[in-house]
Amino acid sequence: MSKLNKKNVEDLQVKGRKVLVRVDFNVPMKDGKITNDNRIQAALPTINKLVENGAKIVLCSHLGKPKNGPEDKFSLKAAAERLAELVNTKVVFAKDDTVVGENAKKAVAEMKDGEIVVLENTRFRGAEETKNGEAFAKELADLVDDDVFVMDAFGSAHRAHASTAGVTKFVKETAVGYLMNKEIEFLGNAVENPVRPFVAILGGAKVADKLNVISNLLEKCDTLIIGGGMAYTFLKAKGYEVGTSLVDNEKIDYCKEMIEKAEKLGKKLLLPIDTTIAKEFPDPIDAEIEVSVVDADKIPADMMGLDIGPKTMALFADAAKSAKTVVWNGPMGVFENPVLKKGTVAVCEALAEADATTIIGGGDSATAAINLGYADKMSHISTGGGASLEYLEGKVLPGIACIQDK
């Protein structure tokens, strides 16, 4: 599965045609300002290609989780303004609470080749996420004369929403954008066709979130490393005392099964051998905290593990540096805390030094790599948390399945 057999923007003749593009402009905002424009930057190759080729480009995206219909703080106005600073063409923001309202229709009717209209947040329409999103999907398609749709929002590709999959029923031609292509080639190659040794590193809090990922990756990789909060459920499954650490008691038997599965398949399953402990979880999360380090089987009953320890950092780093392909999803501890970020930093450093294809599977590990200054040392940082996890599970993503094959 090294190459995606889906039509992409290169396969389209778009001059003078209207093209609806689903982008991921779900950017972090504070006080009405964008705090990180990575997702807008990531969409530029596709947008610029369509501009150069003379398309009339209509962009749609969600932002945040508006609960009660339209809310100003979730408007895409700031994203449209930032895009206008980054491209060499006219950008019009169509503010409509219904998304496809009079402003959108007027803006699209008046646009010239190579210009861009940005629609309001798709989630302002409750129908975006519901079974009866067909009418909304049809309205989106009608805006571009039911002609061309490009899917370039990998972060939303695991959702069968009106603006990701529904709209494809009503347009003549569909394709993926450059970002989608890149995501699928990196993640697809890593899982289906990796250069070995292939090491997968899983962290984060809950085992339940990664049940199928653990099982699927054990079959594909040579070494599976488990850190973060989910490691304590595995340690408990081995019969260790884990104190007040985060444990998913319903998944202890599952963890035992995975330990047995690794043995049966002859795969290495690496768990923490020492851990950084404290009396309680830091509150606020970045508060000063007193910690100590103990062996993984010596956690006192009244203490909790909040990061991997130095011996584990060395163990995990050695495994990562020996790899030719590494996929990492989920931090090793409470990385938002200066004292408890050391394990996550150690993994970042190991990946930066590895002579390997290094892929960060979105979510918190992407945030960690970016915030800790290691982003440019990685081969690929996924823009999709949930989507990349489901892809690593081996699931078919609805936002990819609906695109026409070449």
Would you please indicate which residues are annotated as catalytic (active-site) residues? 39, 206, 363, 386
Which of 205, 201, 199, 200 has its CA nearest to residue 333? 205
Is 24 known as a binding-site position? yes
Beta bridge partners of 33: 30
- Cα angle: 142, vertex 146, 148; to 5 degrees: 125
Which of 86, 87, 79, 104 has its CA nearest to residue 20? 104
Is 363 known as a binding-site position? yes
Is 82 known as a binding-site position? no
Tokens describing residue 299: 């956690």
Is 62 known as a binding-site position? yes
Is 15 known as a binding-site position? no
Q: How far apart are CA 132 and CA 118, in angstroms?
A: 24
Q: How far apart are CA 286 and CA 221, in angstroms?
A: 34
Is 5 known as a binding-site position? no
In sequence order, what E strands does 257-356 have? 268-270, 274-278, 292-295, 304-308, 325-329
Is 364 known as a binding-site position? yes
In sequence order, what E strands does 45-109 have? 56-60, 91-94
- Cα angle: 400, vertex 61, 386; to 5 degrees: 50
Is 65 known as a binding-site position? yes
Is 315 known as a binding-site position? no
Is 243 known as a binding-site position? no
**Residue type, position 84, single letter:** A
Count of positions (residues) in the chain:
406
Is 298 known as a binding-site position? no
According to DSSP H, which parts of 354-392 are helical?
363-371, 385-392
Is 32 known as a binding-site position? no
Asked if 347 and 316 touch (Cβ cutoff 8 Å), the reply is yes
Is 204 known as a binding-site position? no
* Feature table: binding site for substrate: 24-26, 39, 62-65, 123, 159
* Feature table: binding site for ATP: 210, 305, 336, 362-365
* Feature table: binding site: 24-26, 39, 62-65, 123, 159, 210, 305, 336, 362-365
* Feature table: binding site for (2R)-3-phosphoglycerate: 39, 123, 159
